Amino acid sequence: MFKVSIVQDHNHIEERTHTNPKTGEIKTYYSQYGYITLPNNIYPQKMKVPVESPMKAYPVGDYTLSPMSVQIGRFDSLEINVFNIKLDRVQK
């Protein structure tokens, strides 16, 4: 799987709200930045990782992309579920 690093001083939580135009319901979404190491890239790439709340943010450290983040898409293709990205802590 892919290595994702949560880096000190680059791990702030971003908050975004959305109002459903039909119901008026307000939802709040949180995300945290990490850096993913992709094949054939020299440098890790910045990415957003969704988190349930600021209290459940990932601590600084190294992770792998969890198999729970992968799904079969609409056209039977393998894809990453961008709304449900999960990270597994790398054991040292």
**Domain residue spans of the chain:** 3-89
Pick the CATH number of 3-89 from 2.40.50.140, 3.30.465.10, 3.40.720.10, 2.60.40.1180: 2.40.50.140
Give me the mean pLDDT over the 46-71 stretch. 93
Paired strand residues for 44: none
pLDDT of 72 above 90: yes
pTM here?
A: 0.82
Average the pLDDT over 45-67 and give the result: 94
Query: Residue 45 and residue 16: Cα distance in Å, rounded?
Result: 22
